Amino acid sequence: MEMHQPPLIATNRRHFLLMCFPVQGHINPTLQLAKTLAHGGAKVTFTTTGGGLQSIQQTLPSLKGLTFVSFYDAPDHESSDGFSSFMSDLRKSGSENLLKILDKFEEMGQKVDCLVYSFLLPWVATVARASNVPSAFLSIQCAAAFSIYHRFFNAHDGIYNVNGGIKDESSVSVKIPRLPLFSAADLPTFLLPDDPMSHLVIPLMQEHIQELEKDDEPCVFMNTFEELEEDAINMFKDYKMNVIAIGPLIPSAFTRGNDSTDKSYGGDMFHKIDDHYFQWLDNKDEHSVIYISFGSLVVLNKEQKEEILHGLRETKRPFLWVIRSTDSEQEYIKQSLENEVKNGDGLIVPWCSQMEVLAHKSIGCFVTHCGWNSTLESLVSGVPIIGCPHFSDQTTNAKMVEEVWGTGVRARVNGEVVIGRDEFKRCLEMVMGDGERGREIRYHCKKWRGLALEVVKEGGSTNNNLKSVVDI
Ligand code: UDP
């Protein structure tokens, strides 16, 4: 893949080893950072599990200075019951393999200068320290979410540490100066003890923070930008953390326009079948299409799909809906769609090139689970959001979208944690309609898109920060 963008000016050829967990939401920003560093003149080794690499190998970019290596060769976990043993095996074998990889590079005269690791892999910091290799944590969530983890687990006054765990989750809340209060419903769900994944994720997040605290001035790269999250980023100044905002980590064609041919992350774990949906989009009016996607992990239950379907039928607006082929109800929903939306104007696809879709002039709003990549992609594209968060940091992102950035609304769920058809319709009319709220939301979308494009330009905050990283 050839990319055209202003060079980041590497003073020498540093070697970065980037490690990420094998899920789409982690691979995309980590791979984008790998491409950016390689483009800036660094040598970059991208590593994830063998299973992860295999699933993305067909779309991987070929770029000077960028190579791919596996740090774990056993099969990835397949079910949630096996997740816990997979995670401990990943830690054990991953640590051993990482040491071997570091040694091998040293023998080859290509010593690793900086190890960059992402969420769920806190043990990488331990290996890095033992090997005397500088490391940086890559936060692929928003700065607000990372501040919340820090408020929970920091050794000085962490809510979790001080309380010896959270007992009453309904009363827990987090205040970050100048941001609205994050109550239980806005916190990353894995932090709440009732969450089914909390027993696995809480210790990992706690370990991440503890590992960072072992360094005098720990380095954290964040997939956000200073103008977007000034308040959350500033909070870290009191904690001697070197937080470097290097986002938005998205294919550069979407921030640099014709200056770049980099139109996709290059690590798709799912297959698109074909690109026919672009022709379909080309025939739609500007800002008329509702784009619906819940990312790579959320699976909607049948009731939720039916409610969305009814809501769509009633709004009579065209829509493009991603229902992954791994979803066992994909065929059922297609059938229902044909029955219910007679003469309707909708398309269901198993996967799409999301960033290209969001950048298409026909898209009028994005119904999303608010994964951080999707949220950031929407911000860069200037597309209003209807947030339907399910788990993890999605709740925090939806809060930021609605109350801080003003680029969308968060749908209200009923008792069954389902967004009803009337609520769905209400949100659609609010963000796409001509009312004052819709106009305000579209104004904010335009504003943030403008800022996102500025920060990557020569002299922009992210561009400057990336230069400092290439030279780190
Ligand atoms: N994505 C895509 N095509 C799709 C759906 C999603 O390329 O049809 C990409 C999307 O652009 C984003 C990633 O998959 O970069 C999903 O990451 P996110 O953080 O939004 O959610 P997660 O999948 O981690 O829940």
pLDDT digits (tens, 9 = 90+) for 355-400: 999 999 999 999 999 999 999 999 999 999 999 999 999 999 999 9
Residue 285: per-residue pLDDT:
97
Could you tell me if 283 and 244 lie in one domain? Answer: no
DSSP letter (8 states) at residue 301: -
Q: Is the pLDDT of residue 256 over 90?
A: no
Could you tell me if 62 and 197 lie in one domain? Answer: yes
Lowest mean pLDDT among 71-75, 81-85, 193-197, 331-335: 331-335
Atom of ligand 1 nearest to the CA of 322: 8
Mutate to test the pocket of ligand 1, among 24, 269, 322, 360 (most ligand atoms within 8 A of CB): 24
Residue 194: per-residue pLDDT:
86
Could you tell me if 336 and 245 lie in one domain? Answer: no
Could you tell me if 447 and 464 lie in one domain? Answer: no
The single residue of 15, 26, 39, 444 carrying the catalytic annotation is 26
* Phi, psi torsion values for 164, nearest 5 degrees: 65, 40
Q: Is the pLDDT of residue 177 over 60?
A: yes
Could you tell me if 101 and 240 lie in one domain? Answer: yes
Q: Is residue 10 part of a domain?
A: no
Residue 244: per-residue pLDDT:
97
Rounded CA separation 389/117 (Å): 26
Contact between 296 and 266 under an 8 Å Cβ cutoff? The reply is no
Could you tell me if 238 and 286 lie in one domain? Answer: no
DSSP letter (8 states) at residue 408: E
Tally of domains within the chain = 2
Concerning whether 369 is annotated as a catalytic residue, the answer is no
Q: Is residue 140 part of a domain?
A: yes
Could you tell me if 439 and 363 lie in one domain? Answer: yes
Pairing of strands 219-222, 135-139: parallel
Q: How far apart are the first and last CA of the chain?
A: 25
pLDDT confidence band for 11 (50 / 70 / 90): very low
Q: Is residue 260 part of a domain?
A: no
Q: Is the pLDDT of residue 2 over 70?
A: no
Could you tell me if 21 and 43 lie in one domain? Answer: yes
Which residues have C-beta atoms less than 6 Å from ligand 1? 24-25, 28, 293, 295-297, 322, 351-352, 354-355, 371-374, 377
Q: Is the pLDDT of residue 338 over 70?
A: no
Atom of ligand 1 nearest to the CA of 324: 8
Cα 28 to ligand 1 centre (Å):
8
The mean pLDDT of 251-268, rounded to a whole number, is 88
**15 membership: H or E segment, kind and range:** strand 15-19
> Which is nearest to 87 in space by CA: 198, 204, 196?
204
Q: Is the pLDDT of residue 179 over 80?
A: yes
Residue 472: per-residue pLDDT:
58
Owning domain of residue 99: 15-254+459-470
Is the bond preceding residue 248 a cis peptide, omega within 30 degrees?
Answer: yes
Rounded CA separation 236/242 (Å): 8
Q: Which residues pair with 349 in a beta bridge?
A: 322
